[in-house]
Amino acid sequence: MFDQPVSTWYFPNALVFSFPSDEGTNNKFGERILTFQEYPLDANTPDVNEPNVPSFPDPNSETYPVYLVRELIEDGNGFGTVLLPNFPRRVNPGTLHNFVLRTDNKSKELAVGDFDGNGRVDVNDCNALETAIGHTGNSVYDIASADVNDPNLLYIGIRPDGIVDETDVRAIYQLMESDTKRREDIYRREESDELKLTESSCHPCKSRDP
């Protein structure tokens, strides 16, 4: 996924994202939502909940933010950079990090804010995030940060700030509002298609004179 020599990036100890400039390679992803997330070595990969069983990440455990890859690249003037946190203890050289690159999310809202994986961002996700308020360090609930010059401008899915706070609460409610609109639009389209199908099947045939 690199289109320049790594030595030109000047980001030591960082993960750098870049799409190849070759248009054919980019088209392999189409319009898919791309997300990137680290997870602990002793944990399962994210989003492996049993069907129909709500399960939220523990607000007191070390989990990791979800990054929106395309927005991360755009935010970095073409290079998306993820700075890895300092290790809390001494680790041996060559220790690996585990990461998940996903291409199957239906929307950005679901990618960042659907913590229980039930296909919607709802009040339960908001409540789960609010239970994590005050957590410092890595957390999947650390979904946003505010612009230093304009606190009303939120960076969602690209700039976690190391603490779950009021900024993240504002962000999750924004995501819930956007996801509600997304689902309403889908419902209206499906309802319209169903109405058209009903009208078509019920249209009377024209009678013919004998």
Single out the residue of 200, 68, 60 nearest to residue 128, CA to CA: 60
pLDDT 10s digits, 139-155: 999 999 999 999 999 99
Does residue 156 surpass a pLDDT of 50?
Answer: yes
Q: Which residue has the higher pLDDT, 2 or 38?
A: 38
Residue ranges per structural domain of the chain: 6-200
Across 77-86, 111-120, 169-178, 200-209, least confident range: 200-209
pLDDT of the residue at 109: 96
Helix 123-131 vs helix 166-202: angle between axes, to the nearest 10 degrees? 170
pLDDT 10s digits, 15-73: 888 776 666 655 678 888 999 998 866 555 454 444 455 689 999 888 999 999 989 88
pLDDT of the residue at 42: 59
Single out the residue of 173, 140, 134, 170 nearest to residue 157, CA to CA: 140
Task: Give Cα separations from 82 to 15, 67, 158, 176 (angstroms).
Answer: 5, 9, 9, 26
Alpha-carbon distance of 193 to 159, in angstroms, equals 40
Alpha-carbon distance of 137 to 37, in angstroms, equals 15
Q: Which helix (H) or strand (E) holds 124?
A: helix 123-131
